[in-house]
Chains A and B, each alone.
Chain A
Amino acid sequence: MKPSPSILLAGLVIFQITVNTAQAEEFSFNASAYEKKPYEFNGHFDLQVSQFNTNNDSALSNLAFKPPETPKDFQRYNSEIELNGLYRFDKSTVNVRSLSQWQNDIFTSGSEHTLQEGFWNYQPNNQWSFEIGKRAIKWGKGYAWNPVGFIERTKNPDDPEVNREGFILAGAEYTQSLPVLVKLISGSIYAIPVSENFNQDFSNTTTDTVFFGAKLYLLIDDTDIDFYLRHSAETNSDYGISFATNLSSNFELHGDFAYQDKIQYTQIPSIGGLTESNHSTFQSLIGIRYLTETDLTWIAEWLHNPQGYNLSEMERYFELAHSNPTTETADYQLAQQAKQSSYGLNTPAQNYAYIRASQKDFADIVYLSASITAITSLEDKSYSLSPELIYSGLKNSELRFKATTFQGTKNSEFGEKISDSKLEFRARFFF
C-alpha cells in the first residue's frame, strides 16, 4: 500500500522538526555548570612500558650489572596515579597533590607514595597571598634546566614537564600594578625550615634550622625580569637573575644566571678515596623559543657550568667505572661512590646544549604532535636524540611514543650510559 501524500508531507514536517531540534541541540552551552564549587578533584593515571637495549661495554652498565651478568636488554613497567584536590572556604584554599608510583624492572619492584604538595593558601585580596605547607616553588625561565631553582628540586632535561615534589615552607607574596614603564612588580619571600624530619635535601647546604628564599619580579615594558636570593645566616647567600622577552611575535629569548656560594663537589684524586670540597659556582643559561610559519616550534638552550667537571675529570670517572668488579674491587667501589655524588648529577660537565623541534598537527593529523629532542655535552660531543609522537585526540587521554638513542665515544657522557637506545610507550588518562 502506497502512503498518501498527506502522510508523506506530515512525515517530512516531523522529520524537519526533528532535524531542526537536533541542530538546535547540537551546539548548546550553559555556563552555570561551571560555577565555582567548594571542592575540586582531578588527576591522571599512567601506564608505561619501556624497552632498554643495554650498552654492554659502557661504564654505567658495568656499575649497574657487574659483568658477565649484563643482560642484552631489559624492560621497565611503570604506573602512576596523581591526585589533585582543592577545598575552598572564605578567602582560603587547601591544595593537595599526591603521587603514587609503581615500578617493576631488573633493578627494583615496588611502589612509592609521596605527598608532593599539601598547603593552605590565604588570599585576603588580589595583591597579597600567603601560603604554608608543602609547596613546589618553580623559579627561572629555563625549559630544560633550572639553574636559579634554589628552593626546588632539579629538573630532568629528558622530561622537563614532569611534576616535582615540593618543600615544606611558609611564604608571602605581594603584587602591585604600576602605570609606568615598570608595569608590574611582585615580591615574594619564603621561610624554609630544615631538620632531620623534613627538607633534608638542604642539610648539605645549610646548618641552620631555617633559611630564606626571596624573589622580586618586574615586568618592564615587554620584558620579564626576576631577581632571586637564597639566604642563610650561617652560610653565604645565593643570587640569581632571569629574564624573558619577545624579540618579535614569534621569537622569544630567555636566560637564567645563578651564583651559588657553596656547592659541594666530589673529586677523584689519583691516589686514595674521594675528596669533598665546597666552592662557588656561576651557572648561566641562554635560550630561545621560535615559532615558524608552518607551526614548528624550536626551543634551544645552552647551559654553561664552568665549575663542572672538565673532560679529563669525566674521563677519569668513566675509566674507574670500567674497573673489573672482581679484580679491581677498590676502584670499582670508588666509582660506585662517585656515581652517588656530583658525578651522578644530570649535568656534571661544563657545557650542554638542548635543542627541541616540535610540530603541531604532524602529517596533517590534528592532535598529533611530533618532536625531536637533542641533548648534547659540548665538551665530548656525545649526545642523546629522542624522536617523540604524542596523540591527544581521544577525550581525556594522551598516548606518547618516544625513542631515544645515546651516542658518543668511549669515556664520553652519553656514550657511557647504561643503554644505547630505549623505547617508551606511555598511555595517560585524565579524570
Chain B
Amino acid sequence: MNSFKKQLLYFVTASLVILSNQAWSEASKTHDVNATQLLKEVDARLQPSSYEMYRKLINIEPDGDRKEFVLYTVKKGKENVVALFLDPASERGRSSLRVGDNMWLYIPNVGKPLRITSLQSVVGGVFNNSDILQLDYSTEYNAQNVTEEGEQLLLSLKAKNRSVAYDQLKMWVDKTHKTPIKIEAYSASGMLIKTLHYSKIKDFGNGYIRPAMLETDSPLYKGFKSVMLFDGIKPREFSEEVFSLGYMSKIGELRE
C-alpha cells in the first residue's frame, strides 16, 4: 500500500471514529434527555406540584403484628413539605418539616422544633424521614439513562448530592400510566437498602391515576414489611409561611 493510500485510510478511519463518537454522544444525550423527561413525567403523574395528601403507614412484623400510623402531608413546589401524625395517639401531634435539605422534628412535649437528619427514622421500622418527607424524584435525583424492559421502562437515577438518603435508584416505570412499579434503592457502596413496590392503580380525581399502595422491604429488616396507603391526594395551594418552624404545631389546622 503506498503512502497516499495509507494516509487516506487513516483519514477515513479517523473520520469514522470521530463521526461515530459524535453520533454515540448525541444518542447518549438524547437518551439522557429522554430519561430526564420521563422522570419529570413520573413526578407529574404521581402528584401535583403543590398538594395535600393522607397516608397510612403499616409496619408488619415477621409474626404478623402490625403498627399503623396516619399522616397528613402538605407540599409546595420543589422544596417544601411537612407531615403531621394523626394516629396513633402516642405519635399524635408530631410533625416533620422539610425545606430543601433542612429537616426539623416537632414533638408536642419538647415543644420546639429540633433539627434532624434525613435518615433518622421517626416511627421505627423501614420508613425513614426521607420516605415520609419525600420531594419529587427529579428534585433529588438526576436521570442517567432509560432502557426498555418489556412492558416497562427502567430508569437509572443518581443522587444530586450526598444529603440525599439513597445514592442510586433503579426505577421500573409502567409504560401506560408512566408511574413507578418497582424501585430499588442503593447506598453509595452499591448495597441494596430497600425495595419499593407500587400497586393498586386508582383514580384520585383531578386527572391523577396512580398507585394507591406502596410496599417496602429491606434486607436490613429481614422478615419485616412496611406498607404505605395513599388517599385524599388533591392539588392545593399553600403560602410559604406554612413551611416554617412556628407553624409546625398548627399543621392540623390546614385540614378541611
A-to-B contact residues, CB < 8 Å: 27-32, 34-36, 40, 42, 84, 88, 93, 121, 123, 125-127, 129, 136, 138-141, 143, 160-164, 173, 175-177, 183-184, 186, 188, 217, 219, 222, 224, 244-246, 248-252, 254, 289, 291, 295, 297, 360-361, 366-367, 392-393, 395-398, 430-431
Contact = CB atoms under 8 A, between A and B. Distances in A.
Contact of B256 (A36, A126, A395, A431): A36
Contacts of A188: 246
Interface string B48-81: 0000001110110100010100101000000000
Contacts of B86: 34
A27 B59 contact: no
B109 A186 contact: no
A393 B244 contact: no
B118 interface: yes
Contacts of A31: 54, 231-232
A246 B121 contact: no
A430 B245 contact: no
A222 B102 CA distance: 6
B219 interface: no
Nearest to B80: A177
A396 B108 CA distance: 16
Contact of A393 (B58, B67, B107, B221): B67
Given A36-B255, A291-B117, A396-B89, A249 B163 contact: yes
Interface stretch (B26-34, B142-150, B171-179, B234-242): B234-242
B90 interface: yes
B256 A127 contact: no
Size category of the B interface is: 35 or more
Contact of B101 (A36, A141, A162, A246): A246
A117 to B, nearest CB: 10
Nearest to B215: A27
A186 B244 contact: yes
B70 A252 contact: no
A27 B245 contact: no
Nearest to B233: A31
Contact of A139 (B72, B100, B112): B112
B90 A430 contact: yes
A165 to B, nearest CB: 12
Contacts of A297: 120
Contacts of A138: 110-112
B5 interface: no
Contacts of A160: 110
Interface in B110-145: 110-112, 114-121, 124-125
Interface of B: 54-56, 58-59, 61, 65, 67, 70, 72, 86-90, 92-93, 99-102, 107-112, 114-121, 124-125, 162-163, 213, 221, 224, 227, 229-232, 238-247, 250, 252-253, 255-256
Contacts of A248: 162-163
A366 B124 contact: yes
A139 B245 CA distance: 12
Contact of A395 (B88, B245, B252): B88
Contacts of B61: 366
A280 to B, nearest CB: 26
5 contacts: A136-B111, A188-B246, A361-B124, A366-B59, A393-B67
B117 A252 contact: yes
A188 B163 CA distance: 32
A36 B254 CA distance: 8
B54 to A, nearest CB: 4
B194 to A, nearest CB: 14
A325 B226 CA distance: 63
